[in-house]
Structure 1
Amino acid sequence: MSDIKIHKTGEPDILQASDGRLTLSVPIQIKRRSGRKLVTLPNGEIAKAQPWDKAPSPLQLALVRGHRWLVMLELGEAKSLREIAAREGIDNSYVSRMVNLTMLAPDIVAAILDDALPNHITLFDLAVDPPVLWEEQKERIKITLFT
């Protein structure tokens, strides 16, 4: 049975035991990105994305839901957020928070779509009571970066 030990620093190394077994040491860092884990190599390069990494992140899905529900309201397909929540079988406060995402600054939306937001920024940070002004939204995210 093999043991996996995670070392944050060091150089790649191969050790040969007296019984002929080899131990390969590769320093990597595992980072969480929007709920997914990415392997970062010692030089800072992110390991090649796998086909299963193409799925949208939870933040991207939330943004899409918010826009879809807003369009439903604008086209008259639903009369209220409460009606959308009833159709979807979810809480109306969740629907409201997802629709709040449609009011985010364009560069914040771009960062969500590019999956480039820092790991510690959550859906809750973006969707609950976002400031109306885009500059204030950006400032709020900067504040969360340093806390």
Structure 2
Amino acid sequence: MTRSRPTPETITVHVPFFHVKRGGRKEMQLPPGTPPQHKTDNTLIKALARAFRWKRLLGTGEFATIAELAERERIAPSYLTRVLRLAFLAPDIVESILDGRQGPKVTLSHLVEPFPAEWQRQRDFFSG
């Protein structure tokens, strides 16, 4: 048995990227300056949905306190409080999350940390 062509040498391709954590998973992202790719973060969307639902349940009086709602949801009141803050994000930030256009700083782990109440300061906080 004879070979018609010799085996080519190994080719190495370098692709610049970095890792970020999104929803407890690692995600590869391309460096700044590359065309944006819209990818929705289901973990963030789920957290937003919960936040707005909890806000509605508290606002309608179905639950009188956060502790009561947390007990019903079988979660810690501190976690409920941190996620509930998402219901007070600037509308354009919420829209960018739903469209998958949020910046790299808009992760669930970053959003459950304290952030400014004023919408313009939120925009600056999450963009910078």
Q: TM-score under structure 1 normalisation?
A: 0.61
* Total equivalences in the alignment: 120
Separation in 2 of the partners of 1:131 and 1:124?
A: 16
Partner of 2:92: 107
**Structure 2 residue runs without a partner (length 5+):** none
User: Does the Cα contact within 8 Å between 1:28 and 1:39 map onto a contact in 2?
Assistant: no
User: Does the Cα contact within 8 Å between 2:105 and 2:126 map onto a contact in 1?
Assistant: no
Superposition CA RMSD, Å: 3.3
Partner of 2:49: 64
1:17-46 CA-partner distances (Å, limit 9, x unpaired):
83x699787765666584474687xxx567
Partner SS, residue 141 of structure 1: helix
**Structure 1 residue runs without a partner (length 5+):** 1-16
Partner of 1:74: 59
1:87 is the counterpart of 2:56: no
Percent of pairs identical after alignment? 30
Normalized per residue, which structure has more strand? 1
Question: Any residues of structure 2 matched to 1:39-58 within 5 Å, and which?
Answer: 44=34, 57-58=42-43
Deviation at 1:69, TM superposition (A): 0.5
CA separation of 1:75/1:82 partners in 2, compared to 1, >3 Å: closer, same or farther? Answer: same
User: Does the Cα contact within 8 Å between 2:103 and 2:126 map onto a contact in 1?
Assistant: no
Q: TM-score under structure 2 normalisation?
A: 0.69
Separation in 1 of the partners of 2:21 and 2:122?
A: 21
Task: Identify the range of structure 1 (20-29 vs 110-119) with the bigger mean alpha-carbon deviation.
Answer: 20-29
Separation in 2 of the partners of 1:90 and 1:106?
A: 27
